[in-house]
């Protein structure tokens, strides 16, 4: 009877001693993950600086916003930190597997599998924002050149259409209300196409013809003026 507590303590110590190598192996994996995350994040920041991405941000009109927040270089560090954290979390998942924490490991793995989808959704939003800015400027300059009324309104509508499309694509990437988003877009674009077809076929046919005639007339006038300037230049020479 008196030997049972000692045997229990002896078994406990034996089990703990047998689990020590597993703990050490998991801690070694975590340490290796920290080193890998630090090295990759610093290398990525150096690479982003060498690639001169600030010029790209200047073209997309992001530089002014970053300068006002004094965060141009901080943005590169943020990107490197996010990538480093993701790498470290991968090593944490491997450490949990080594420690045989099955439930926690499965939960952590599911969370890791969601991270690329979140990153992809954020990238979709950023690319959509950049495309919206470029398209807005291009449409506004084109409409101003053609002396079209309400050019800013049309450019703003184009901007919001692109932003809403990017937001819907991000929701689909995150698998949030995929059926609702897809159905809503099909209904909206189908309705727009139907309205345009009815407008052209019923009431706006003459207006569209006049618009194209005005456009071709302007092109012809510009071609004639360019030819006249070229002829005058040749005569002067």
Residues 6 or more apart whose Cβ sits within 8 Å of residue 165:
128, 185
Average pLDDT value over all residues in the chain: 77
Q: Give the confidence band of 38 by pLDDT, cuts at 50, 70, 90.
A: very high
Neighbours of 73 (CB within 10 A): 13
Ordered alpha helix ranges (H), 3-101: 3-50, 53-59, 63-68, 72-98
| Fold of the CATH domain 116-202 | Helix Hairpins (1.10.287)
Which residue would you say has higher pLDDT here, 150 or 5? Answer: 150
Report the pLDDT value the prediction gives residue 154, as an integer from 0 to 100: 81
The mean per-residue pLDDT over the stretch 70-79 comes to: 65
Report the pLDDT value the prediction gives residue 221, as an integer from 0 to 100: 77
Report the pLDDT value the prediction gives residue 45, as an integer from 0 to 100: 82
Is the per-residue pLDDT at 35 higher than 90?
Answer: yes
Report the pLDDT value the prediction gives residue 1, as an integer from 0 to 100: 45
Report the pLDDT value the prediction gives residue 49, as an integer from 0 to 100: 72
Tokens linked to 74: 């901080």
Tokens linked to 1: 């009877």
The 10s digit of each residue's pLDDT in 183-213 is 887 887 778 777 767 766 665 666 666 666 7
Residues 6 or more apart whose Cβ sits within 8 Å of residue 22:
98, 99, 100
Report the pLDDT value the prediction gives residue 13, as an integer from 0 to 100: 67
The mean per-residue pLDDT over the stretch 12-27 comes to: 76
Q: Among 114-128, 163-177, 195-209, which is the least confidently predicted range?
A: 195-209
Q: Is the pTM of this model over 0.95?
A: no
- Domain limits, the chain: 1-100, 116-202, 204-237
The 10s digit of each residue's pLDDT in 171-186 is 888 888 778 878 887 8
Report the pLDDT value the prediction gives residue 107, as an integer from 0 to 100: 84
Is the per-residue pLDDT at 25 higher than 50?
Answer: yes
Report the pLDDT value the prediction gives residue 73, as an integer from 0 to 100: 56
Which residue would you say has higher pLDDT here, 236 or 99? Answer: 99
């Amino acid at each position: 009877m008196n030997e049972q507590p000692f045997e229990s303590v002896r078994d406990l110590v034996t089990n703990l001693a047998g689990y020590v190598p597993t703990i050490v192996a998991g801690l070694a994996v975590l340490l290796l993950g920290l080193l890998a995350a630090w090295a990759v994040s610093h290398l990525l920041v150096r690479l982003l600086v060498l690639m001169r991405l600030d010029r790209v941000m200047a073209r997309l009109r992001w530089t002014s916003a970053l300068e006002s927040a004094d965060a141009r270089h901080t943005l590169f560090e943020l990107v490197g930190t996010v990538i480093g954290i993701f790498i470290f979390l991968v090593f944490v998942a491997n450490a949990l597997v080594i420690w045989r924490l099955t439930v926690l490991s499965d939960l952590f793995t599911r969370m890791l599998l969601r991270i690329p989808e979140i990153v992809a959704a954020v990238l979709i939003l950023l690319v959509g924002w950049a495309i919206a800015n470029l398209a807005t400027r291009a449409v506004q300059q084109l409409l101003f050149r053609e002396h079209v009324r309400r050019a800013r309104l049309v450019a703003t509508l184009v901007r919001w259409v692109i932003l809403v499309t990017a937001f819907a694509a991000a929701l689909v990437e995150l698998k949030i209300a995929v059926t609702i988003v897809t159905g809503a877009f099909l209904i909206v674009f189908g309705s727009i196409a139907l309205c345009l077809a009815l407008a052209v076929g019923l009431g706006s046919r003459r207006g569209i013809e006049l618009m194209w005639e005005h456009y071709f007339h302007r092109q012809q006038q510009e071609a004639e003026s360019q030819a006249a300037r070229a002829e005058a230049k040749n005569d002067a020479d």
